[in-house]
Every structure is written in C-alpha cells, then in structure tokens.
Amino acid sequence: MRLYVTGIGVISGIGRGVEENLASLRNGRHGMGRVSLFPTALDVPVCEVKESNDMLIQSLGLDKEFPYSRTALLGMVAAQEAIADAGLTRLDERVGFISGTSVGGMDRSEMFYNDYRQNPTDGGDIRLTASHDCADSTLRIAQYLGIQGYTSTISTACSSAANAILLGARLIRSGRLDTAIVGGVDPLCRFTLNGFNSLKILDTEHCRPYDESRAGLNLGEGAGYIVLQAEHAVRCTPYCLLSGYANANDAFHQTGSSPEGNGAYNAMRRALEVANVRPEEVSYINVHGTGTPSNDVTESRAMLRLFGEKVPPFASVKGYIGHALAGSEGIEAVYSVLCVARGIFLPNINYQTPIAETMLTPVTRYSEGNNVRHVLSNAFGFGGNDSSLLFSSVEV
C-alpha cells in the first residue's frame, strides 16, 4: 500500500505557515535570539516562535480565559494548516490524530509552581496543572480540529514526531485508518532550558552543526504536522510518498547514542529496506545534526557505514530553527516533503570546517529544481531511540 502526503503545516521560530518558513530558509534568515518567554539567568541563544500565547489564542479564536498550554496552541496552528492544505472536510472515525511531545503542559505547571512556592497556603491557580500530562495537548488539538476518531500521544524525546508519523503509517497500512494527521510539537520552557544546561550541551553562541568547532545545541520550539492518506482517500494532488520508516534503539546511554552510531545506522538502513530503496538512490538527507560534539560525529559515522564514500548531499536545519525536541521531526518532516516536491537542497548554515574524524561536508547553499527522488530524514532521541523516515517522489 502506498502512503501519500497530501497536506503540511508548520510553525517555528522562522515563520508561521509553510510559505513563511520556506522564505526564511531560502533567504538564510534564522530565528535565534535571547529568551523572552520567561525569566532566566541563562544567556544562550534560542529560537522562539515570534508570537505570545495571547496572540496565538486570538488568532485561533479561542477563549482567552482558558489556560491553554503553549504546546496545544502551537499544535493547533500547524495541524489546522495541514488539514486545510489537504482539503479535508470530513473528519470522521477513519481520520486519526497522532502527536509527539516531550514538554506537554509544563509551561503552565511552571507558572502554578512559581505562585504556589511563594504562597503554599492559597497561592497558584490549580487549573494550570490540568494540562501537565502530554496527552492533554493532543486532546485539546484534536477537539479544536473536530477530530472524533483515533488519537494517540508519543513521547520518546527528540524522535517523538517521527514515531508519531511511523505509527500513523502503520495504522493506515493495517486498515485501522484512512487518514492520519501526524507530527509533533514542543514549546520552550524553564525545565527544558535548565535541563539541557545541566547536561552541558547548550552552546552559548549560534550553533554550528557538522562543523569542527561545534560546541552544543540551541533550543527551539514549534510544531509540524503532515497528512498521510491511503490512495483511496486522496482528494488532491499529493506532495510525495512516505515510502519508508524505521525505529531502532541502541540503548547505549540514558541520553547519548553509541559512539559507532548503531541506532542511527539501523534506523536508516531499515527505513530504506521498508521502501526497497538502495542507499545510492537517496538524493538528500535531512540529518538530525544538533551541533553537539557527540551527535554529529556518531551520525556521520552511521552515514559512512551505510553509504560508504558516496554519502548523499545532506544538511541540518538546526542552525535556522534550533532543536525543538519532540517538535523537531514534525517541522523537519514538512521541510523534507518540500525538498521532494520542489527539488530543494537546504543549506547547513554556520558550517566552515569538516569534522576531523569523518571529513564530511554538508550542503551550504539553498537550491531548487534538483532531481530529488528520495529524502531521508533523521530524528534521534535520548536513550538511543532513533527513527528515520523516507519521503519519495510519487513517480518512483
């Protein structure tokens, strides 16, 4: 069974909507700046969505008195665009919604805790904790969209959105669904920023994925969703196919992947096997490319193991949008779909010098009209939970 991508939607620190994001990518406009969403002593670059919660609530036509989490709000924006793009008008029980997130409603819980800590007797609005669970944002988004069918939440750190897409694909192929709106969302919050700072992997400067001088990652936020459909459900011209997907777990470390990149290698290899595509047929790779010393070298080693001396053109977009955690592969899946549909190679900004251990050079200039038949997109999470997706031209 072929799986068609018929709709895409995104919001990130470089734009609201697909066209704004693409314009920023085309023109080299990144979204990095200082934290403005909450007070923090950390002076590190982040990529925030340039809209407050109040602005998002107003644009979505929601009740301004209800304490929506930023996770739910960002997800509503992106998923709504994807549904409209696919021309979906009937969201019955054969339409599912699967969303990945790590933060859930933690931004609201932090607001409650801050007030409660100052006044334990009667401080804090307990309603703010109602959205803490990750599944709450999924249900809020589904309710806003009018989805009555299957819903599920995936939380596997940075591979969450990829695994949501993977699950949606399996549900369609098993006959459970005809259509799945799939992807992920995460906002910035204190817990995330302080947590990554405790791991000593935040760069105090603009991140430099795949560069020898890389010193860590910059965090970001946003949401990205794609609409997957079985052929009989398609009512518009599709962008491309989701032809392959795989998840692997090397279980090497609580937060890190194995030095050899075993999980990354197995995820990429198996995704190609599912699609019956040979390594030499891959046109472009959207790499995970966080900019940390360990991630980029292990992902490089995995690519060299799979592709040998003929590693396809590749790039990381983390220099544009930061690392949006569970939302990353949702956003980057949208970018990967565009790469197939419009023949795009995206640039790996801030690159100057190859990593000494592997000497791989990413794409550094934006271009359109390339012969792009297969795009491999990687999302690698804590604990070595690694997923790869393969998007392919409809003509293959």
Torsion sign (Cα): 349, 351, 357, 359: positive
Cα dist from 111 to 6, 141, 238, 364, whole Å: 38, 21, 42, 41
- Burial of 118 by CB count in 10 Å (0-12 exposed, 13-18 middle, 19+ buried)? exposed
Pick the catalytic residue from 158, 189, 207, 339: 158
Q: Which residues are registered as beta bridge partners of 220?
A: 47
Reported for 173-176, long-range contacts at CB under 8 A and 24+ positions apart, including other chains, are 173/1, 173/3, 176/96, 176/150
Whole-number Å distance between alpha carbons of 218 and 215: 10
Rounded CA separation 140/362 (Å): 39
Cβ atoms of 241 and 378 closer than 8 Å: no
Catalytic residue, candidates 134, 207, 240, 288:
288
Active site residue 288: yes
Give the number of other CB atoms < 10 A from CB of residue 112. Answer: 20
Please confirm, yes or no, whether 253 is among the known catalytic residues: no
Q: Is 47 a catalytic residue?
A: no
Enumerate the active-site residues: 158, 288, 323
